[in-house]
Chains A and B, each alone.
Chain A
Amino acid sequence: MTNATPKPQPVSQPESDRYWDGLKVEEIWLQRSKKTGEYQFYPRAISIHDPASGPEGVEWVQASGNATLYTFAIVHAAPHPGFVGDLPYVTALVELEEGVIVPTNIVGVDPEPESFQIGMALKPVFDHNENAHTLLKFAPA
């Protein structure tokens, strides 16, 4: 079935263009504090780990894509009409090996509680959907 209502699309901001542009070519780019080496998600104009350095305090680094499942839910009631055709679908927070939590979907697996274990290894799936932006989803590794 097709969805009458489109899904909400990300509206990239100047500080996040590099993130969204990277996903289009199947690369995950994260920001890291030059001073502390700590990563942050989502992209910001400054590092939350070293705000005093201002915009010069952050650098972009390509992430491995290796991740583990932090938590998830299986959505049975669409919170937006654009997702009615996807029910049930799995939302998740995953932890990248760089140490940041990323909101996403888990795909390629039965949407049943038994399919998931907290901590299970995941690999990235780049969803080049019909829209302008590529979404970063994950599947069991």
Chain B
Amino acid sequence: MPNIKRLNNLSGQAHIVGVGESNKLGKVPEKSPLAHHSEAAVNALADAGMELSDVDALFTAGWSTLDVAEYLGIQPRYTDSTSVGGSSFVIHVAHALAAIAAGYCEVALITHGQSGRSDRAPIPRNPGAPMAQYEAPYGIIGPPVSYAMAARRYMHEYGEDRTRQAMAEIAVSTRKWANLNPIAYFYDIPATFDDYHNSRWVAWPFHLLDCCLVTDAGAAIVITTPERARDAKNGSVKILGAGEGHDHSGISQMPDLTWAFGQYTGPQALDMAGVTHSDLDMAMVYDSFTYTVLVSLENLGFCKPGEGPDFVAGQRTAPGGDFPLNTNGGGLSYTHPGMYGIFTLVEAARQLRGQAGERQLDKCDLAVAHGTGGLLSSTGTVILGSD
């Protein structure tokens, strides 16, 4: 089990000094997944005032670091291809923090690139794996079906109508944030509660507007020592706390469909940072689906199990509300290429550095980024603070 006293000593031992997306997000059939990795890497390093030659540690998911390092032309001295779904990149931040504090490396690059919409060569799955053997033959394939079954169980335990209303609140408030983000997929397209309820079924109880986008996109993050962070070109962000873990792979093996692993990673990250919920100025919570946000807020401890619908009521997570949530427009309305977790970090860093444009929060000194990966399988939670 994690030793909180030792983790407390790691708090702040590394900083995020660069963030960036690939050059174009959305429908990008003219670019490969590795092209998104490379563009994002260059952009994040430029944001930090660094170059690829400064990088001595590489972290990625979906692809092996072997492929990404070779494509970028770098020879990392620390390598981590931990790939546990869209939360992986949040988990990479924890790993980079530990590696930097231990002295394995000084400049860690985390890259992501995925052509969820346009990929010419999707990665095949092992047909002998348990999920392929026991779930796929029944059409239990991919996130919407699995998360929908989890959401239906939540409705049974905590009430269908109030769960439905909460999912609508999240869809609508997230879209309002996207309408403030010029590179969001739905920047120009508002969404009302009626739009939510009238959108088609994908997998009941999920409407289309319960589901994240499927886009082509990449992002990258640069992490370094507190000493080198002083030279950061556009400011730095302290990594104050982190937690990671997972408790199943396929949805039929999830111990409790209404209670995901954030129950452990949230409190751990907060404890390590030495802060509480009321200290946080914003939350970036991976929104693969509206339900993912609902259950994650409860897991993280913002409210008790079953109280999520009350917590998000009345558009309090929208611009101008008292709980800023997914201020980039989220996976629901900004971008979601398949493994979105890294984008929660990009936006949190921008808000903490005061670089979020029209959607910039008045006060933002402490943020949580929470990734959920697989089929509610893995989570990574990171607490970030302004420097």
Q: How far is the CB of A18 from chain B (nearest CB, A)?
A: 13
Q: Is residue A101 contacting chain B, with contact meaning CB distance below 8 A?
A: yes
Q: Are A118 and B204 in contact (CB under 8 A)?
A: no
A103 partner, pick from B202, B203, B250, beta carbons under 8 A: B250
Confirm or deny: A128 has a beta carbon within 8 angstroms of a beta carbon on chain B: no
Say whether B52 faces chain A, with CB atoms less than 8 Å apart.
no
> Which residues in B have their C-beta under 8 angstroms from that of A101?
252-253
A71 touches B153 (CB 8 A): yes
Chain B residue with the shortest CB-CB distance to A102: B252
Contact pick for B202, options A9, A71, A77, A83, CB 8 Å: A77
Chain B CB within 8 A of A139 CB: no
A73-B148, A91-B149, A118-B156 known; A80-B132 Cβ under 8 A: no
A103 touches B138 (CB 8 A): yes
The reply to whether A135 and B139 contact each other, CB–CB distance below 8 Å, is no
Contact mask for chain A residues 1-42; partner B; CB cutoff 8 A; 1 contact, 0 none: 000000111111100100000000000000000000000011
Is there an interface contact between A8 and B153, defined as CB atoms closer than 8 Å? Answer: no
Contact across chains for B149 and A11 when beta carbons are under 8 A apart: no
Interface string of B186-208 (1 = CB under 8 A from A): 00000000000000111111100
Give complex CA distance A11, B252 in Å: 18
Q: Smallest CB–CB gap between A112 and chain B, Å?
A: 9
Interface residue B136 (Cβ < 8 Å from any Cβ of A) = yes
Number of A residues contacting the other chain (C-beta, 8 Å)? 38
User: In B203-260, which residues have CB < 8 Å from any A CB?
Assistant: 203-206, 250-253, 257
* Complex Cα–Cα for A21 and B257 (A): 30
Contact, CB under 8 Å: B133 / A71: no
Chain B residues, CB < 8 A from A16: 133
Question: Which residues in chain B, 127-167, are within 8 Å of chain A measured between CB atoms?
Answer: 127-128, 130, 132-142, 144-145, 148-150, 152-153, 156
Residues on A lying within 8 angstroms of B by beta carbon are 7-13, 16, 41-42, 70-80, 83, 86, 88-89, 91-93, 101-105, 113, 118, 133, 135, 137
Seen from chain B, the residues whose Cβ lies within 8 Å of a Cβ on chain A are 127-128, 130, 132-142, 144-145, 148-150, 152-153, 156, 200-206, 250-253, 257
Please provide the 9 A-B residue pairs with the shortest distance between their CB atoms, ordered closest to farther.
A73-B148, A103-B252, A74-B204, A71-B153, A79-B142, A79-B141, A76-B201, A118-B156, A8-B136
